[in-house]
C-alpha cells in the first residue's frame, strides 16, 4: 500500500475493470478520488461504493467524454475546487473498435484516436496548471502491449496506444523541471469485460503466448499504477512499465 493522504487522484474510465481497480488501490492509500465515467451509471455507482469502502476520504463521480476538451477542462476545475486539487491523473479511459484496416471506417478510426489518445492530451493539458501550482504531480497513461507489438485487426487501437507512449515521453521531458512525473503502464491480456467474450480456445491460445501462462488481473495493473503514482517512484519518469506476463519483453 502506498501513501496518498492529502492527495486527490482523477481516474478516467473508472467505472469498471482496470480503472475501477486503480481507483480502489489509490483509495486504499488514502487518496481523494474523482472517478470519471462515460455512461454506465450503475457501474459507476458500484465503483464509487467500492472506493469509499476502500478508504477514500472524499470520492465523487464525474461523467464526461474525455474526447471533449472543454468538458475535460471544466471537470478538472470542478475537481480542484471540490476535492482540493489534482495531484495524480490516471488516463485509463479507452475504447477498442477492431477491424481489418481495409474495412475500417473513418468514423471508427477517428473516434478510437479521439478517446484513447486525444483524451489523454486533453486531461494532461488540463491538469498541468494545478499540478504546477501544487509544485508536483504524477501522471500515468494506460497504453497496451498492442501499442508496442501491434496486432492484426487493431490498427486504430494500436496506433492510439503507440501514440500514448510518444506522448508520455514528450510530456515527461517537458514537465520534469516542474516535478511532475509522467509514465505509462502497458498491460497485456487482462481479465476484463474486453476479454470476457473470448472463447476458451482463444484464451488457451493466448496463454501459450504468455510465459507466465495466465491472463493478468485488473489488480496486477493497478499495483503498477499505484507505484508509479506514489512518492516511492519519485525518480521514475518517461518510462513504460509492462504488465504482460512476459508476452512482450
Give the residue numbers marked as catalytic: 157
* Cβ(103)–Cβ(93) below 8 Å: no
Query: Helix, strand, or coil here: 32?
Result: strand
Residues forming beta bridges with residue 9, ordered by sequence position: 33, 88
* Cβ(183)–Cβ(236) below 8 Å: yes
**Contacts (Cβ under 8 Å, ≥6 apart) of 129:** none
Residues forming beta bridges with residue 184, ordered by sequence position: 141, 240
The strand pair at 88-91 and 137-142 is best described as parallel
Which DSSP category does 115 fall into? I
Grid coordinates of 164? 500514448
Q: Rounded to the nearest 5°, which phi and psi values hold at 137?
A: 175, 175
Q: Rounded to the nearest 5°, which phi and psi values hold at 60?
A: -155, 150
213: left (phi over 0), alpha (psi -120 to 50) or beta: left
H/E stretch holding 34 reads: strand 32-37
* Cβ(107)–Cβ(27) below 8 Å: no
- Helix (DSSP H) and strand (DSSP E) numbers for the chain: 10, 7
Amino acid at each position: 500500500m502506498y501513501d496518498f493522504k492529502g492527495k486527490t487522484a482523477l481516474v478516467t474510465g473508472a467505472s469498471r475493470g482496470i480503472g475501477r481497480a486503480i481507483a480502489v488501490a489509490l483509495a486504499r492509500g488514502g487518496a481523494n478520488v474523482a472517478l470519471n465515467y462515460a455512461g454506465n451509471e450503475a457501474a459507476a455507482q458500484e465503483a464509487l461504493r467500492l472506493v469509499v469502502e476502500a478508504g477514500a476520504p472524499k470520492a465523487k463521480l464525474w461523467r464526461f467524454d474525455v474526447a471533449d476538451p472543454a468538458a475535460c477542462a471544466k471537470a478538472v476545475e470542478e475537481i480542484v475546487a471540490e476535492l482540493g486539487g489534482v495531484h495524480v491523473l490516471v488516463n485509463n479511459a479507452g475504447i477498442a473498435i477492431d477491424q481489418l484496416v481495409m474495412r475500417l471506417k473513418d468514423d471508427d478510426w477517428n473516434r478510437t484516436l479521439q478517446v484513447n489518445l486525444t483524451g489523454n492530451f486533453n486531461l494532461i493539458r488540463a491538469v498541468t496548471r494545478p499540478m504546477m501550482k501544487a509544485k508536483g504531480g504524477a501522471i500515468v497513461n494506460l497504453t497496451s502491449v498492442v501499442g508496442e507489438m501491434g496486432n492484426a485487426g487493431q490498427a486504430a487501437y494500436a496506433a492510439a496506444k503507440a501514440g500514448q507512449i510518444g506522448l508520455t515521453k514528450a510530456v515527461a521531458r517537458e514537465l520534469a523541471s516542474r516535478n511532475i512525473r509522467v509514465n505509462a503502464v502497458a498491460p497485456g491480456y487482462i481479465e476484463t469485460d474486453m476479454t470476457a467474450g473470448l472463447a476458451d480456445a482463444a484464451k488457451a491460445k493466448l496463454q501459450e503466448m504468455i510465459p507466465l501462462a495466465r491472463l493478468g488481473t485488473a489488480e496486477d495493473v493497478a499495483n503498477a499504477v499505484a507505484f508509479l503514482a506514489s512518492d516511492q517512484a519519485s525518480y521514475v519518469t518517461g518510462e513504460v512499465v509492462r504488465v504482460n506476463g512476459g508476452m512482450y519483453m
